[in-house]
């Protein structure tokens, strides 16, 4: 009956965290928003690449954020950049192209860059930003190879600049609630995790070009399932097996896989089975089964509408839908990194976190017989 359902809301979750509860992610802590930085200081972001995710999500998020603002643009299309600059109050003197990108070094109002370019360009523009003395928030996947990821980390360390990978779900309250329930032992011993994420891709997308994308759906949307299995369990896999296929021989998948499934085994004995595809609209969801019950995130990785439900023996059901609307997750992400910079604190979704996923994706691809960069 509906009256028997305990609706554990985000407000309740905030109170719980406020009383001292913590959420584990391996050796890191996932928590509610940490102590605020100086209210009068906002981090100035240079947006590198004016594509769908920048214009449709991250930049609008900066308008609603507390500690972030768009201060500069980097684009290969001057007309587009000038139109966007007018909308965001960006000075025309803070519009750069890919050739004069290094000139951001001379602009002290630019604290950090947000890199939203095709995957194969992430490493180059992260390294160039670090050398220009700027912090880096880079979209996922971190890059296209383990070697590139290591170079990005080294460049930022050498420049003493912070590097964050845009794993927004690691900061999203509904996902954090799931981590809390698992960490508190509500599900008992975790046995099995299932996850899927996929969509039917249109022809001619840059994501179908291996030189730009580095791989197919695993690099693009499958990484959400991979990362979720890691942060939900707080464990690193000890073994992976991958399998790939192409069903639709329509010209789209001449360079990248169409379907990929993989399994993972964790030190605790828990196993995970994940799938990702460019050939079907599977949605993005995750289900965790424990000895006492299960929880489901469906959707788990969307820009809005994430929904957590539980079926746990001896516990009232949880029904926790995300209340915030897009682009709130991006605002949280931008502000978390801004506060990392302002307070000089460690970054949760760090370059090292991105490197771990790069290594596991490389292992999955090799197991599936797919050549990587």
**pLDDT, tens only, 5-64:** 333 343 343 433 333 333 334 333 343 444 444 557 999 999 999 999 999 999 999 999
Residue 343 lies in a domain: no
Where is the domain boundary, 149, 168, 187?
Answer: 168
Q: Are both 303 and 254 inside the same structural domain? A: yes
Active site residue 140: yes
Same domain, 136 and 205: no
Does residue 164 sit in the same domain as residue 286?
no
Torsion of CA 114, 118, 121, 123, to 10 degrees: 60
Q: Tell me, yes or no, whether 160 and 192 share the same domain.
A: no
- The pLDDT value recorded for residue 40 is 74
Residues 312, 177 share a domain: yes
Q: Which of the following is catalytic: 69, 134, 140, 161?
A: 140
Is residue 208 one of the residues assigned to a domain? yes
Range of the domain at 159: 43-168
For residue 349, tell me if it sits in a domain: no
The answer as to whether 356 is a domain residue is: no
Residue 330 has pLDDT above 50, yes or no: yes
How many folded domains does the chain comprise?
2
Rounded to an integer, what distance in angstroms lies between the CA atom of residue 34 and that of residue 91?
32
**Whole-number Å distance between alpha carbons of 125 and 147:** 15
Contacts with 364 (C-beta within 8 Å, 6 or more apart), sequence order: 218, 226, 240, 242, 260, 262
Decide: residue 305, CB within 10 A, 0-12 exposed, 13-18 middle, 19+ buried. middle
Q: Which of 305, 321, 337 is the last residue of a domain?
A: 321
Q: Which of 145, 168, 191 is the last residue of a domain?
A: 168
Q: What is the mean pLDDT of the chain?
A: 92
Token reading at 102: 């290094």
Domain of residue 161, CATH code: 3.40.50.720
Residue 151 confidence class, pLDDT cut points 50, 70, 90: very high
Per annotation, catalytic residue among 67, 101, 224, 365: 224
- Examine the domain organization and report whether 140 and 163 are in the same domain: yes
Within the chain, strands assigned E span: 23-25, 28-30, 43-48, 68-74, 95-96, 112-115, 135-138, 163-165, 190-198, 239-245, 259-265, 271-277, 283-290, 293-297, 307-312, 319-321
pLDDT at position 39: 59
Q: Is residue 370 part of a domain?
A: no
97, 129: one domain: yes
Mean pLDDT of the 318-339 span: 98
pLDDT at res. 38: 58
Q: CA-based angle 289:30:26, to the nearest 5?
A: 65
The CA-CA-CA angle for residues 368, 373, 27, to 5°, reads 75
Task: Report yes or no on 133 lying in a domain.
Answer: yes
Helix residue ranges per DSSP H, the chain: 10-18, 52-53, 59-64, 78-88, 122-131, 146-158, 173-183, 210-213, 217, 223-233, 328-342, 351-367
* Model confidence, pTM: 0.90
The answer to whether position 327 is within a domain reads: no
- 329/172 Cα distance (integer angstroms): 6
CATH of the domain at 304: 3.30.360.10
User: Which band of pLDDT confidence, cut at 50, 70 and 90, is reported for residue 105?
Assistant: very high
Tell whether omega for the bond before 327 is within 30 degrees of 0, i.e. cis. Answer: yes
Distance CA 162, CA 276 (A): 31
Same domain flag for 82 and 164: yes
Same domain membership, residue 202 and residue 134:
no
Query: pLDDT, tens digit, for every residue of 334-372?
Result: 999 999 999 999 999 999 999 999 999 999 999 999 998
With respect to residue 332, please indicate whether it lies within any of the assigned structural domains: no
- The verdict on 115 and 250 lying in the same domain is no
Whether 133 and 188 share a structural domain: no
Query: In angstroms, what CA-CA distances link 197 with 200, 298, 349, 372?
Result: 11, 11, 21, 21
Same structural domain for residues 193 and 271? yes
């Amino acid at each position: 009956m509906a009256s028997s359902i305990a609706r554990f809301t985000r407000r309740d979750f905030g109170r719980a965290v406020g009383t001292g509860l913590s959420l584990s992610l391996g050796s890191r802590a996932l928590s509610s928003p940490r102590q605020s930085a100086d209210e009068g200081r906002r981090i100035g972001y240079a947006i590198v690449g004016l594509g769908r995710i920048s214009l449709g999500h991250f930049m609008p998020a900066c308008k609603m954020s507390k500690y972030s603002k768009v201060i500069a643009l980097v684009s290969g299309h001057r007309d587009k950049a000038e139109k966007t600059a007018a909308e965001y109050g960006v000075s025309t003197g803070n519009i750069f192209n890919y050739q004069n990108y290094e000139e951001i070094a001379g602009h002290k109002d630019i604290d950090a860059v947000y890199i939203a370019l095709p995957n194969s360009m992430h490493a180059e523009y992260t390294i160039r930003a670090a050398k220009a003395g700027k912090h880096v928030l880079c979209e996922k996947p971190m890059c296209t190879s383990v070697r590139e990821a290591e170079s990005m980390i080294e460049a930022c360390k050498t420049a003493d600049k912070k590097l964050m990978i845009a794993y927004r779900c690691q900061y999203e309250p509904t996902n954090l609630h799931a981590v809390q329930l698992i960490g508190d032992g509500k599900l008992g011993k975790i046995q099995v995790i299932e996850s899927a994420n996929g969509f039917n891709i249109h022809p001619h997308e840059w994501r179908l070009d291996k030189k730009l994308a580095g791989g197919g759906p695993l690099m693009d949307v499958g990484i959400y399932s991979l990362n979720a299995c890691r942060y939900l369990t707080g464990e690193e896999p000890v073994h992976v097996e991958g399998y790939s296929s192409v069903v639709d021989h329509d010209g789209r998948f001449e360079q990248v896989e169409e379907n990929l499934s993989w399994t993972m085994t964790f030190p605790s004995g828990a196993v995970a089975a994940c799938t990702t595809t460019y050939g079907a609209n599977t949605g993005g969801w995750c289900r965790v089964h424990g000895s006492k019950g299960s929880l489901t995130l469906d959707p788990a990785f969307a820009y809005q509408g994430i929904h957590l439900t539980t079926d746990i023996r001896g516990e009232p059901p949880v029904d926790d839908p995300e209340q915030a609307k897009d682009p709130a997750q991006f605002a949280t992400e931008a502000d978390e990194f801004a506060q990392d910079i302002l307070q000089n604190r460690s970054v949760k979704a760090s370059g090292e976190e991105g490197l771990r996923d790069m290594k596991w994706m490389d292992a999955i691809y090799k197991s599936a017989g797919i050549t990587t960069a």
